[in-house]
């Protein structure tokens, strides 16, 4: 039967074949697209949305506090938005001991303390809102950002897996010291041990060291301000779509890539290299620009970028607390 199918395919004009595949692709993709659009339009689950907004906003402040050189008065708009969402959360009578809420309040307290320590006067409107929240929730404790030495950060890399796993953080501060290609290759080799669908190994790594190319790439990406320019290496992770056989396998590139990337992040950590994932959730014109910068083949999709470098003697890490296993598990 597969032979017959192939014979028929070969007889059809390419254009007909293209339209046939386009039709079946639409059919396959539409339910998922509809589910996503439905969620945006009809899902009234305000709880999930307010938790999402708290996390998005407190994480930006966490990042700001842990930048190599935090900018006095940084993130005014984000902080005001976070105050607003905290007030909305409170009005909804949601639990104040939820991770998202606790961390939001705690991060705002750190924001106030940071500016107090450097003697920077925040503007009155902001100050008033912050004071109100910090004083009303003075008993709420979240996870503070971490200030560590390079030695402290890497001291657990040879410990058993559970300890090692908990010791990795996204690192957003690097020195200029060159990461040898041989070390990067060892990390990529380890990442290759990640499982892949039928062992098809679709993931590819583009190693970027050229200052012009790095700058061009980082200008297209929206989450590296304040630290991306310090990265000695950028790893652009892509996946070959020709490894998938039909449209039902379309998610395999991102899924397999995610598994690969996690091993790679752990491998970099093991080799004492600091790394930070950088999202590639961009418009198609930005995607095309990146493709053309690196000459990425048409049959590869870009998944993510990783900024990397060796570490300075001292650095700050965003604490990024996690929900418990219990909170995210459903037992059936
Ligand atoms: C797909 C993906 C995209 C990310 N994009 C960014 C980004 O653009 N900028 C950034 O600073 N961090 C980014 N991160 C890092 C996350 O903020 C970080 O992994 C999260 O807060 C958990 O912290 P941890 O890595 O220190 O454990 C990204 C992470 C993932 C997995």
Write 257-262 long-range contacts (CB < 8 A, 24+). 257/202, 257/203, 257/303, 257/304, 258/303, 259/194, 259/195, 259/196, 260/191, 260/192, 260/194, 260/196, 260/203, 261/191, 261/203, 261/237, 261/303, 261/304, 261/306, 262/194
Centroid of ligand 1 to alpha carbon of 299 (angstroms): 26
Which atom number of ligand 1 is nearest to the Cα of residue 171? 26
Task: Please give the pLDDT value at position 10.
Answer: 81
Task: Please give the pLDDT value at position 2.
Answer: 65
Sign of the C-alpha dihedral computed for residues 289, 295, 298 and 299 taken in this order:
negative
Task: Please give the pLDDT value at position 181.
Answer: 98
- Buried b / exposed e over 200-237, threshold 16 CB at 10 Å, is ebbbbbbebeeeebbebbbebbebbebbbebbbbbbbb
Give nearest CA residue, ligand 1 atom 23.
320
Q: How far apart are CA 266 and CA 169, in angstroms?
A: 10
Q: How far apart are CA 193 and CA 264, in angstroms?
A: 10
CB 247 within 8 A of CB 218: no
CB 241 within 8 A of CB 298: no
Q: What's the pLDDT tens digit per position in 205-261?
A: 999 999 999 999 999 999 999 999 999 999 999 999 999 998 999 999 999 999 999
CB 54 within 8 A of CB 82: yes
* DSSP 8-class letter at 145: P
To test the pocket of ligand 1, the residue of 276, 316, 319 to mutate (highest count of ligand atoms within 8 Å of its CB) is: 276
Given a cut of 70, the residues of the chain with pLDDT beneath it are 1-2
pTM: 0.94
Phi, psi angle pair for 292, to nearest 5°: -75, -35
Give nearest CA residue, ligand 1 atom 22.
320
10 Å CB burial of residue 263 (0-12, 13-18, 19+) is middle
Task: Please give the pLDDT value at position 45.
Answer: 80
Measure the CA angle with vertex 178, ends 176 and 184; round to 5°. 130
Mean pLDDT for all residues in the chain: 95
Task: Please give the pLDDT value at position 7.
Answer: 82
Strand-strand pairing, 314-317 and 300-309 = unpaired
CB 208 within 8 A of CB 233: yes
Question: Ligand 1 — pocket residues by CB below 6 A?
Answer: 59, 63, 169-170, 172, 223-224, 276-279, 304, 320
Strand-strand pairing, 233-240 and 300-309 = antiparallel
**Number of neighbouring beta carbons within 10 Å of residue 83:** 20
Task: Please give the pLDDT value at position 1.
Answer: 60
Q: How far apart are CA 184 and CA 264, in angstroms?
A: 10
């Amino acid at each position: 039967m597969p032979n017959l199918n192939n014979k028929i395919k070969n007889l059809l004009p390419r254009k007909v074949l293209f339209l046939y595949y386009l039709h079946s692709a639409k059919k396959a993709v539409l339910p998922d697209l509809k589910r996503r659009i439905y969620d945006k339009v009809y899902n009234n689950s305000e709880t999930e949305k307010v938790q999402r907004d708290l996390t998005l906003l407190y994480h930006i402040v966490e990042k700001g506090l842990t930048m190599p050189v935090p900018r006095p008065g940084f993130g005014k708009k984000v902080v005001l938005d976070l105050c607003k969402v905290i007030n909305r959360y409170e009005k909804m009578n949601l639990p104040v001991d939820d991770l998202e809420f606790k961390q939001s309040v705690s991060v705002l307290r750190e924001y106030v303390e940071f500016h107090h320590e450097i003697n920077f006067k925040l503007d009155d409107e902001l100050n008033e809102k912050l004071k109100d929240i910090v004083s009303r929730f003075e008993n709420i404790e979240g996870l503070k950002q971490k200030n560590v030495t390079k030695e402290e950060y890497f001291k657990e890399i040879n410990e058993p897996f559970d300890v090692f796993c908990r010791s990795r953080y996204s690192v957003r501060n690097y020195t200029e010291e060159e990461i040898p290609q041989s070390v990067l290759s060892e990390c990529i080799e380890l990442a290759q041990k990640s499982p892949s669908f039928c062992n098809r190994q679709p993931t590819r790594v583009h190693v970027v060291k050229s200052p012009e190319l790095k700058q061009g790439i980082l200008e297209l990406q929206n989450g590296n301000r304040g630290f991306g320019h310090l990265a000695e290496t950028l790893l652009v992770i892509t996946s070959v779509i020709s490894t998938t056989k039909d449209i039902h396998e379309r998610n395999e590139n991102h899924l397999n890539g995610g598994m690969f990337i996690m091993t790679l992040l752990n491998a970099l950590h093991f080799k004492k290299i600091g790394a930070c994932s950088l999202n590639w959730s961009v418009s198609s014109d930005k995607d095309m620009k990146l493709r053309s910068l690196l000459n990425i083949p048409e049959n590869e999709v870009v998944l993510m970028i990783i900024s990397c470098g060796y570490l300075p003697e001292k650095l700050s890490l965003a604490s990024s607390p996690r929900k418990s296993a219990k909170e995210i598990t459903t037992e059936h």
